[in-house]
């Protein structure tokens, strides 16, 4: 069995996984001759060479991405599997889902309109390579991914089905790219119809359909925005599609945090602020509704995440006027769609440590399957992992790719002369999504069937 060594290595492919360090684990027995006999038997090439290719392909399809790309170095046939239609079809059928995460280092600009005006007046077309940081919660391991094909002026906003969604930063109709960083593919979608500044975007991809919702930040003038409408994009394997043809009105006086949506069981959810509540968008009926948040007057840094197929609200509770200890709690939305049930509370001793590190700066949360990651703002080295199944809290090791020599990228725009270095060393913070790294996404064939004038991003 090979072990990972966390030093990055450069390849010609759009990724950079750690280089393996060969090790061998043996079963210790008192009889050394039996050990030698066992090794000779298991390593006999006459046995392994007779395995059917279909069986070998099925085994390889179960490998996690780092092990798969290492296996490509074994022989020409393994190297070419990523281009084999038969193998990719098998991969889509048997490859297990992995509840991993991908993080990006970026900041949301405070004044997009001003910065976009600066960008439009600049003729410098320099491009920086975008980096993402893949986190495996099962092994607490970090990997680095490259997004060399993403053009300048796009920000990551969501992820689903092995694809990462990038949206254009410039105000106006939004251009959207779906990217698979493991194979370096990019799928452009038609631009939205309504001009927007920095809308909230929800994405869900299955084996037979894709749904995308773009909500809020409608540009009602060149210098003013208002949360008014939602546009939706839908394609499925039955031949039905709606290309931004379905719109709906947002609830009155909604003020949700732009950019964050969570999909659970046919609905998108996002936080509404002042006061805190939860907005829910039903994809099938194209309707919005409000859900009252638990303890809404005493919440700090609330975040919505997906956890084991449920909507989970994560927030710090601070009731200064009541005799209740401060804590970090998790609530799950019940099947009725209106009631919340507290499912977990951070141990008090751990919360004291967390509060000391967090120091009132706030935190961001992202969930995927049985895991929730809590990232402290303005401190990329400190994060907690909660495991729903084991009921365990763990401090995550810091990402080794965020040292002083790492490039800090400004996804939010800014003058193109300073595109790569606006943050400086130590600037920015990690924002991420749940991500299932996959070699192929079946919806690519659905999008290829559309005969639409997709815009070129050359």
Q: What is the mean pLDDT of each run of 10 residues along the chain (458 residues)?
A: 39 36 35 49 71 90 92 90 90 92 70 41 51 93 90 91 92 92 89 90 90 88 84 86 84 75 92 84 90 86 92 87 79 92 93 90 92 88 92 92 50 35 47 91 70 43
Report the alpha-carbon angle 24-28-32, nearest 5: 95
Report the alpha-carbon angle 312-317-320, nearest 5: 165
CB contact set of 337 (below 8 Å; sequence gap of 6+): 280, 291
Predicted local distance difference test score (pLDDT) of residue 428: 57
Report the predicted TM-score, pTM, of the whole model to 2 decimal places. 0.79
Three-state DSSP state, 126: coil
Predicted local distance difference test score (pLDDT) of residue 449: 62
Predicted local distance difference test score (pLDDT) of residue 9: 36
Predicted local distance difference test score (pLDDT) of residue 320: 66
* CA 250 to mean position of chain CA atoms: 25
Predicted local distance difference test score (pLDDT) of residue 440: 86
Predicted local distance difference test score (pLDDT) of residue 241: 79
CB contact set of 451 (below 8 Å; sequence gap of 6+): none
CA quadruple 74, 79, 80, 83: dihedral sign: positive
CA distance 333 to 60: 38
């Amino acid at each position: 069995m090979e072990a990972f060594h966390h030093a990055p290595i450069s390849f010609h492919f759009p990724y950079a996984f750690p280089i393996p360090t060969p090790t061998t684990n043996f079963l210790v027995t008192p009889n050394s001759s039996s050990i030698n006999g066992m090794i000779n038997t298991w390593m006999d090439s006459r046995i392994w060479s007779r395995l059917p290719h279909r069986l070998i392909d099925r085994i390889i399809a179960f490998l996690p991405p780092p092990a798969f790309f290492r296996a490509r170095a074994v022989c020409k046939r393994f190297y070419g599997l990523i281009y084999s239609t038969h193998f990719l079809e098998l991969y889509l059928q048997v490859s297990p889902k992995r509840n991993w995460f991908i993080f990006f280092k970026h900041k949301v600009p405070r004044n997009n309109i001003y910065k976009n005006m600066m960008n439009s007046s600049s003729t410098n077309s320099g491009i920086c390579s975008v980096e993402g940081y893949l986190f495996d919660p099962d092994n607490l391991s970090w990997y680095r991914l490259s997004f060399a094909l993403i053009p300048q002026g796009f920000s990551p906003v969501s992820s689903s089905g092995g694809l990462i969604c990038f949206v254009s930063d410039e105000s106006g109709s939004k251009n959207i790219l779906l990217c698979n960083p493991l194979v370096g593919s990019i799928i452009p979608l038609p631009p939205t119809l309504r001009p927007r500044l920095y809308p909230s975007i929800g994405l869900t991809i299955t084996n037979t359909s894709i749904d995308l919702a773009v909500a809020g930040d409608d540009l009602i003038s060149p210098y003013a925005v208002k949360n008014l409408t939602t546009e939706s994009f839908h394609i499925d394997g039955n031949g039905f599609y709606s290309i931004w043809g379905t719109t709906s009105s947002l609830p009155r006086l909604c003020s949700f945090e732009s950019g964050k949506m969570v999909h659970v069981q046919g609905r998108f959810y996002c936080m509404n602020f002042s006061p805190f509540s939860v907005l829910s968008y039903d994809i099938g009926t194209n309707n919005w509704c409000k859900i009252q948040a638990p303890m809404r007057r005493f919440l700090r840094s609330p975040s919505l995440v997906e956890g084991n197929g449920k909507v989970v609200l994560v927030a710090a509770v601070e009731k200064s006027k009541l005799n209740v200890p401060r804590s970090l709690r998790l609530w799950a939305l019940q099947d009725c769609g209106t009631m919340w049930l507290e499912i977990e509370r951070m141990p008090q001793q751990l919360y004291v440590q967390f509060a000391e590190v967090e120091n009132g700066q706030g935190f961001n949360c992202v969930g995927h399957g049985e895991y929730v990651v809590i990232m402290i703002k303005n401190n990329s080295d400190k994060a907690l992992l909660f495991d729903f199944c084991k009921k365990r809290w763990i401090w995550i090791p810091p990402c080794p790719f965020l040292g002083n020599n790492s490039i800090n990228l400004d996804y939010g725009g800014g003058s193109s002369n300073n595109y790569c270095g606006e943050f400086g060393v130590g600037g920015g913070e990690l924002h991420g999504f749940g991500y299932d790294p996959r070699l192929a996404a079946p919806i690519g064939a659905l999008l290829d069937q559309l005969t639409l004038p997709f815009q070129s991003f050359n």
